[in-house]
Chains A and B, each alone.
Chain A
Amino acid sequence: MLKRIYLAGNPNVGKSLVFSRLTGVQVISSNYPGTTVELVKGWLSLGDEKIEVVDLPGAYSLEPTSKAEEVAVSLLSQYPKDEIVVINVLDSTNLERNLLLTLQLIEKGFPTVVCLNMCDDALHRGVHIDIAGLEKILQCPVVPTCAVTGKGIKALVEKIKISAPAVRAKFSHEELWIEIGHIIENVQRLEHRHHRFRERLEDASVQPLTGFFIAAGVIYAAFKFVRFIGEGIINKITDPVFFDLYRPLLEKFTLHWQEKGFWFHLLIGDLIGGKIDFKQSLGVLTTAPYIEFGMVLPYVVSFYFILSLLEDIGYLPRLAILLDNFLHRLGLHGYAIIPVLLGFGCNVPGILSTRVLESKRERFIASTIISIGVPCLPLQAMIIGLLGSFGGLYVGGVYLVLFSIILILGLILNRLLPGYSPEFLIEIPPYRFPPLGMLARKLFMRIRAFLFEAVPVVLAGVCFINILLYFRLFDFVTGVFAPVVKGIFGLPKEAVVALVIGFFRKDVAVGMLAPLGLSIKQMFIAATLLAISFPCVATFIVLWKELGFKDLVKSVFIMVSVSVIVGGLLNLFMLR
């Protein structure tokens, strides 16, 4: 009786995409090993029945040598074999390496369906596979698919129904590889192709000289494009909508209210020169939507567009190779660049993806560095929006300070923490050029996630702040912390409120600094402090979950110390 379907396969063969196609559950997939860090489940309708589908972490072998493999193996042995079917997803462009797991699955007696994924890419690269021949040798159904376009998925579902365990003798690894060699000779034919542009580019991007040139170019172009697209959306779409459409409408409906009492304060906020100022009014209907839709959302769109593009092309593992030397000094290895880059979007997925790092020590260093030195996108968008009006130098200054913190903190942590960090051993995927539809879908998923998570919190947050401000309930907190904030950081006591709000939403917190009339130096210090001090509550919870309570306390202690030291130093030494 079939109850469960497991998707098993080597890392980065497109298991998540096959999973999406089978279940309709949307999951993020990228072109590098280790995108799926959380266990995902979905349902497939087969006849009248609904069968659970589980997307297993990538594994090269059933004899585990890494944590992801351990998880995969323990899940596979959880239920009796006659209740499950394993869909073994293979990368057709690299049949040889993938077959080890296939043979092991069959050997262990799992009813297996072999899914030859990326078959169109294989054809493109001159790899021809004899499907019928392979089926005969393996004694289980083999289905060529292309999960990107959805080709072959229907046939795959049909084969699930008829799969049965095959009988195979057990071999050692060496014997298996020898057998795989024979299988490959029989079923695979390689057409000789000259080195094409794609291969040349793949090679050039890991050579010491050309690699660093390409990396510098890619990073520069990525920054430029994120700003270009983000500013474009602001200037061409969101600002006109807010200023020419929304503001006149809002003013028409509300400004004639005779007494400007509680509700006016809550919804519209303070008028600046008799008008609504989206950056300073601080109302639920004014500043709150402007922050989220007018300042942050455009950059969310542009950042995730560029990040998704780099992910799907497969550039990130190559960047990891180039940065390995540098990150080693910080107690990490090159692959840590992936969690860091994701952290620039939102710290939560960044910290979650530190699971690609093997040791606890590395995960602690990476998570701490991300929550201190990597500002999330909403925070960056607000810093660019507010500090940018004083000149790009100040925006650059914040990044410089954060980068120095990462550097110094990493060096110190690497010295002080016991243990060592393992070195990396990663498969580098070929470059792939994703179809635009795929890219659009991924971008849409990420934007939707942002809207669902951020907007309610921001509206509720601004509402809450306004109530507290209206009834002067913050006075107690500001009173207590004012001496610290004033004495060490040189900030007015009203800034305390913003720093506290930073625990809930960083973007709103920066927004709250706007009406305070801070000097540029104070603004710079406050913005930097918001970046390094406490992470927001969502990040905090993830840190707790990933690190455990003891390491969370350690991490928080580091955060508070760094904030006090850096804020104090900036206040002392910054001239203006």
Chain B
Amino acid sequence: MKKISLIHLKAGHKGKVIDITGGSNLAARLMSMGLYKGKELIKLSHIGLRGPVVIKSGRTILALGHGPAAKIILEVTC
């Protein structure tokens, strides 16, 4: 079972959130938007090397800056 951050997940691949590190505010915000431990997501794209990441979880599409994306730890599911 591979654990990687959202940044290192390849675009088009799926993962399951296992941890949100760093500030609790980020975790709380993501929680209220419906992204929390155990939730599945698919990474849609990643703009540039240090750019934002776009993901889809359920029917919600989210764009996260590079910083917050680095704090989301996933287990790769496919």
Chain A residues in contact with chain B, CB under 8 A?
60-61, 63, 65-66, 93-94, 96-97, 100, 173-174, 177, 202-203, 206-208, 211, 317, 320-322, 324-325, 328, 333-334, 422-428, 430
Contact = CB atoms under 8 A, between A and B. Distances in A.
Contact of B36 (A94, A173, A325, A334): A173
Interface residues of B, number: 31
Nearest to B57: A97
Contacts of B65: 324, 333, 422-425
6 contacts: A208-B47, A208-B48, A321-B54, A322-B47, A423-B67, A425-B30
Interface in B40-75: 44-48, 50-52, 54, 58-68
B69 to A, nearest CB: 9
A189 to B, nearest CB: 14
Given A65-B25, A321-B47, 9 more contacts: A60-B32, A65-B32, A203-B45, A208-B46, A328-B50, A425-B29, A427-B33, A428-B54, A428-B62
Contacts of B51: 324-325
Nearest to A65: B29
A425 B31 CA distance: 12
A383 B46 CA distance: 39
Contacts of A97: 33-34, 58-60
B29 A208 contact: no
B64 A325 contact: no
A532 to B, nearest CB: 30
Give chain A's interface secondary structure class.
helix
Contacts of B66: 423
Interface of B: 11, 25-26, 28-34, 36, 44-48, 50-52, 54, 58-68
Most chain B CB inside 10 Å of its own CB: which residue of A93, A177, A425, A430? A425
Given A94-B58, A94-B59, A206 B32 contact: no
Most chain A CB inside 10 Å of its own CB: which residue of B26, B46, B61? B61
Contacts of A207: 11, 44-45
A235 to B, nearest CB: 41
A463 B32 CA distance: 56
A218 B61 CA distance: 21
Contacts of B62: 425-428
A428 B47 contact: no
Nearest to A96: B58
Nearest to B66: A423
B59 A427 contact: no
A414 B29 CA distance: 26
B59 to A, nearest CB: 4
Nearest to B64: A425
Q: Which 4 residue pairs of A and B lie closest in terms of their CB atoms, listed nearest first? A: A423-B65, A61-B32, A60-B32, A428-B61
B62 to A, nearest CB: 6
A425 B71 CA distance: 13
B61 A427 contact: yes
Contacts of A427: 33, 60-63
A425 B64 CA distance: 5
B29 A324 contact: no
A203 B56 CA distance: 10
Most chain A CB inside 10 Å of its own CB: which residue of B32, B63, B67? B32
A317 B60 CA distance: 14
A424 B34 contact: no
B9 to A, nearest CB: 15
B60 A206 contact: no
B63 A317 contact: yes
B36 A177 contact: yes
A34 to B, nearest CB: 13
A100 B63 contact: no
Given A63-B32, A427-B33, A325 B58 contact: no
Nearest to B49: A325
Nearest to A426: B63
Given A65-B28, A208-B48, A325-B48, A425 B68 contact: yes
Nearest to A95: B59
A60 B44 CA distance: 23
A336 to B, nearest CB: 12
Contacts of A325: 47-48, 50-52
Contacts of B63: 206, 317, 320-321, 324, 334, 424-428
A177 B34 contact: yes
Contacts of A60: 29, 32-33
Contacts of A94: 58-60
B24 to A, nearest CB: 10
Contacts of B47: 206, 208, 211, 321-322, 324-325
Contacts of B30: 425
B36 A206 contact: no
Nearest to B55: A428
Contacts of A423: 52, 64-68
